[in-house]
Structure 1
Amino acid sequence: MLLSCENSIKEVQNLTSKNEVPTQSGNDIEYIITDSTRITYRAFAPEFFEIRNPDQSYNEFQKGGKIISYKKDGTQAWQIKANFAKNYTNDNLWELRYDVEAISDDGKTINTELLYWDQAKHLIYSDQYVRITTIDNQVLEGTGFTSDEKMDKITLKKVSGEVYLDDKTQK
């Protein structure tokens, strides 16, 4: 029996390359990020893959998970959950996708299908549709936003929704 192949050796090597094979993997993991022995962030996921290659190294959470941030006093500052997450370790950047929900410690909620968290700059942002529910249950919608990770200073782009203003005047 004879077989014929029109692919070059280089093409075959690229297809069978181990660049995308996980160097580590695990189930039901807890990923802890510390600063001077103090826990600053914890991530939980049902599945974890660590990918290391020359172009880009990242951790992938294909079944999603949750990230919790902690204040210096150890209390919870905010949390983000998503159905898929990727942590680009060299860039300190998280990409969270599919049914993303971010909740601040005071109860503000951000819902979107795509959210980036830049750990180094302490920013979260998206260029996708976003729905923000304020602490007094006002709902704002838009396409794209940027915010500090504590969700204290949110800039919403292409805004729609109802905003209620207090019309009391002070003397």
Structure 2
Amino acid sequence: MLLNFVTAFAVTLFFSCQSNTSKTNNYNIGEDAPIAEAFEVNLKYTDSGRLTAILKTAKVKDYTNRSFGFQEFPEGIVLDIIDKDGKVSVVRSDYAIFYKETGLIDMRGNVDIKTADSTHLMARQLYWDQSINWIFTDQPYKSILPDGTVNEADGFDANQDFTILNSRINEGIMFIEE
């Protein structure tokens, strides 16, 4: 009797199971769709327990499942970079994209950087190579240094702290003591 019950139960289970692939296929992510999206992000980065950066954005789309993965910030970013002395530099842009494999950040549209020492840089597009802490662009930009020096040019490259700056085809106003 027990054998008949187990057999009947097994047969019922076998025939009652059906494929749900038609239901689960509705959840497949399209090839061009992000694998994740986040809204109203306030992300804090730390290094050895010290707060080093705060990233704020209205929207992030994650495409890191692709062969050359990236994260897109279609509504722009505000990035506060905090140095070891607690001084804050602020980076803003209307749009940004971060390439995971290379560590390169491409910022576009009203890129605005205000460093802790009051250097102000404005550009249409700016690249930041995090792996070597280098910033560069081939687009027009304008910088205003703490001493009032103004520089406008069609491209530059610099280290992250702007202590090394190579500017191309530029015009500007520089104050020199006599």
Q: TM-score, normalised by structure 1?
A: 0.81
Cα distance, 1:165 vs. partner? 1.4
Cα distance, 1:68 vs. partner? 1.4
Partner of 1:44: 56
Aligned-partner SS, 2:42: strand
Partner of 2:38: 26
- Given that 1:31 and 1:43 are in contact with CA atoms closer than 8 Å, whether structure 2 keeps it comes out as yes
Aligned residue among 161, 168, 176 for 1:150: 161
Are 2:117 and 1:106 aligned? Answer: yes
- Given that 1:20 and 1:52 are in contact with CA atoms closer than 8 Å, whether structure 2 keeps it comes out as no
Structure ranking higher in strand proportion? 1
Map of 1:114-133 to 2, 5 A cutoff?
114-133=125-144
Q: How many residues align?
A: 151
Cα distance, 1:154 vs. partner? 1.9
Tell me whether 30-39 or 44-53 shows the greater mean CA deviation.
30-39
Deviations 1:30-88 (A, max 9, x none): 23333233322221101111112433111111010111111124x13422100001111
Map of 1:130-145 to 2, 5 A cutoff?
130-145=141-156
Q: How far apart, CA to CA, are the structure 2 residues paired with 1:159 and 1:46?
A: 35
Cα distance, 1:112 vs. partner? 0.4
Structure 1 unaligned spans of 5+: 1-16
Structure ranking higher in helix proportion? 2
Aligned-partner SS, 1:132: strand
| Root-mean-square deviation over aligned CA pairs | 1.8
Deviations 1:103-153 (A, max 9, x none): 111100110000011111011111110100111222110011111112222
Structure 2: which amino acid aligns with 1:116? Y
Aligned-partner SS, 1:128: coil
Partner of 2:102: 91
Aligned residue among 62, 75, 84 for 2:74: 62
- Given that 1:142 and 1:158 are in contact with CA atoms closer than 8 Å, whether structure 2 keeps it comes out as yes
- Given that 1:19 and 1:53 are in contact with CA atoms closer than 8 Å, whether structure 2 keeps it comes out as no
Which of structures 1 and 2 has the bigger CA Rg?
Answer: 2
- Given that 2:148 and 2:175 are in contact with CA atoms closer than 8 Å, whether structure 1 keeps it comes out as no
Structure 2: which amino acid aligns with 1:144? G
Structure 2: which amino acid aligns with 1:20? D
Partner of 1:12: none
Q: How far apart, CA to CA, are the structure 2 residues paired with 1:24 and 1:37?
A: 28
Q: How far apart, CA to CA, are the structure 2 residues paired with 1:54 and 1:22?
A: 9
Structure 2: which amino acid aligns with 1:46? A
Partner of 1:166: 177
